[in-house]
Amino acid sequence: MSQIKALIQPHGGKLINCYLPEKEGKQTLLTALNLPRLTLSTRNIADLECIATGVYSPLEGFVDEQEYTSIVKDMRLTNGLAWSIPVTLQISESVADQYELDSEIALAHPNGEILAVMTITSKFKPNQNWEAEQVYRTTDEAHPGVKAMSGEGEVYLGGPIKLINAVPYQDFLDYRLTPEATRVEFARREWNTIVAFQTRNPIHRAHEYITKIALEVVDGLFINPLVGQTKSDDIPAKVRMQCYQILMEKYYPQNRVCLSVFPAAMRYAGPREAIMHAIARQNYGCTHFIVGRDHAGVGDYYGTYDAQYIFDEFTEEELKITPLKFEHAFYCTRTQSMATAKTSPSHKEERIHLSGTKVREMLRNGQTPPPEFSRPEVAQILVSSMKLTTV
C-alpha cells in the first residue's frame, strides 16, 4: 500500500453536519412542539437525511428560490459550485398559508416524531414544466421523476434545517454509514483511492466486470446501493442487499470492498442525477465514480451515454471526483467471458447483453437468469423472492 494521504475534500471543502448536540436538541424539541408542523413525504425524509449527514454537502437545508433557479438553469449554486438537481421541500397550495416566510416549522416523520426544525427563508411557486424540461428533459408524467416532482406540491419552501432526531429505520442498520463514518472506515483501511459504484439493481455479471476493472486501479471499492424510494417495479432493497452480501462474500476480495447503503430517493434524472450521485460519493470520501451505460436512466428519455457526456461540462476544479466511464459490457460467447466492444473480437450474435431491466423481465416471466447474467447464488435469491411476491 502506498503512503497514506488525506482523503479527498468534501464538495465545497466542508462536510455538513446538521445534528444538534443532545442538550440543544432537547431544548429545540420543546420549542418545536408548539411550531406549525409539516409531515414529510418519503422523498422528503430521504433528502432530509442526506442534507443533515453531509451526503449533500454543501447544502445545509432545502434550497431557496435563488439557489433553485441557479441549479435548474446552470447546474451550479449561486456561488458557482457545481450542483445539478434542486433538493426541494414542496407542499400543496391548499396548505401553503400555514407556513409563513421568516418563521420556523417542525418537520415530522409520518409516525408523528419531530425530526427537525426548519427556518423558512424562501417560499415560492416555480414553473414546474421548466424544471421538468431542464432536469428530466421531459414534461411527460409517465416519467417517474416528473411524476414524483409534480405530486409533491406546487409551492416550495426553502431554508436551513437543524436535525433533532435521527431518521428512524428498522432495516440495514449495520450498513447505514454516514460520510463521516465512511471516511473513518476508509482511513482505517488505509485506502487512498476509492471508487464508488451506484446501483438500484442487483449486481449482475456486467456490473461485477466493470467494478473489478475499476478495482484494479484503486485501493478500494465502495458499493453504495440506493435504498430510498424507487419505482414500484424495481427489485426491493431488502432483496438486493441479500444479493450484494452474497456477492461480497463469494466473489470479491473482502478486504478491498466496503458495502454501505445510500439513503437517497431515486429521481431517474439520468445525466443530471449522475452528477449528483458523483458529488454525494465525493462527500463519502471517494476519489473515483463509475459511470456506465444509461446511469440513473429510465425508458428512452436519455441517450445511452448522456450521463457520461455531461461530465465534460464541468472542469476538474468544479468536480474533484474522477468519473470512470465504461461502455456497455456483455457476455462474449466466443471468449466465454465478460467484455466490451473495446476488448471483444466477437460479432453481434456472439454477445449476450445484460441489464437490470432484462433480469426483471426474466423473473416476472418465471425464468431463472442464466450464469451469463447472474451468479447462481444471486439468481437463486432473486427467484426465491419472486416466488414469495407471487404467492
What is the per-residue pLDDT across 135-184, written as a single tens digit (0 to 9) for each? 999 999 999 999 999 999 999 999 999 999 999 998 999 999 999 999 99
Is 3 within the bounds of a domain?
no
**pLDDT digits over 335-361, tens only?**
999 999 999 999 999 998 877 777 778
Same domain, 247 and 290: yes
| pLDDT score of 106 more than 60 | yes
Distance CA 306, CA 253 (A): 32
Cell numbers describing residue 6 = 488525506
Same domain, 132 and 278: no
Distance CA 113, CA 263 (A): 19
Is 289 within the bounds of a domain?
yes
Q: What is the pLDDT of residue 363?
A: 81
- Total number of domains in the chain: 2
Distance CA 199, CA 273 (A): 12
In this prediction, residue 369 has a pLDDT band, given cuts at 50, 70 and 90, of: confident
Is 41 within the bounds of a domain?
yes
Which of 163, 182, 217 is the last residue before a domain boundary?
Answer: 163
Q: What is the CATH number of the domain that holds 189?
A: 3.40.50.620
**pLDDT digits over 261-299, tens only?**
999 999 999 999 999 999 999 999 999 999 999 999 999
Q: What is the pLDDT of residue 197?
A: 98
Helix, strand or coil, per DSSP, at residue 206: helix
Same domain, 339 and 200: yes
Residue ranges making up the domain that contains 27: 22-163
Helix, strand or coil, per DSSP, at residue 78: coil
Q: What is the CATH number of the domain that holds 129?
A: 3.10.400.10
Please compute, for residue 192, the number of CA atoms within 13 A of its CA located in the half-sphere on the CB side: 7
Cβ atoms 46, 191 nearer than 8 A: no
CA distances from 333 to 193, 345, 346 (A): 34, 11, 8
Written as one string, the DSSP assignment of 255-278 is GGEEE--B-PPP---THHHHHHHH
Same domain, 83 and 156: yes
Which of 129, 163, 197 is the last residue before a domain boundary?
Answer: 163
Is 2 within the bounds of a domain?
no
Cell numbers describing residue 79 = 456561488
Distance CA 260, CA 211 (A): 15
Q: What is the DSSP letter of 313?
A: G
Q: Where are the alpha helices (DSSP H) in the chain?
A: 22-32, 42-52, 65-74, 128-135, 144-152, 179-188, 205-215, 237-251, 271-284, 306-309, 356-364, 376-390
Q: What is the pLDDT of residue 389?
A: 56
365 alpha-carbon distance from chain centroid: 29
Q: Give the residue numbers marked as catalytic.
A: 200-201
Same domain, 192 and 292: yes
What residues have CB less than 8 Å from 269, skipping those under 6 apart? Answer: 84, 85, 135, 136, 145, 276, 296
Mean pLDDT of 121-146: 98
Distance CA 54, CA 198 (A): 17
Average pLDDT taken over every residue of the chain: 94
What residues have CB less than 8 Å from 94, skipping those under 6 apart? Answer: none
Whole-angstrom Cα Rg for the chain: 21
Which of 132, 163, 194 is the last residue before a domain boundary?
Answer: 163
Same domain, 254 and 201: yes
Same domain, 233 and 353: yes
CA distances from 240 to 76, 277, 288 (A): 33, 19, 23
Is 11 within the bounds of a domain?
no
Same domain, 65 and 118: yes
From the list 172, 161, 158, 45, the residue with the least C-alpha distance to 109 is 45
Same domain, 140 and 238: no
Same domain, 263 and 343: yes
In this prediction, residue 3 has a pLDDT band, given cuts at 50, 70 and 90, of: low
Same domain, 58 and 83: yes
Q: Which residues are registered as beta bridge partners of 90?
A: 156
Same domain, 181 and 156: no
| pLDDT score of 391 more than 50 | no
How much helix, strand and coil, in percent to the nearest 5, is found in the chain? Answer: 35, 15, 45
With a pLDDT cut of 70, the percent of the chain lying above it is 97
Is 17 within the bounds of a domain?
no
Q: What is the pLDDT of residue 370?
A: 85
Is 51 within the bounds of a domain?
yes
Is 7 within the bounds of a domain?
no
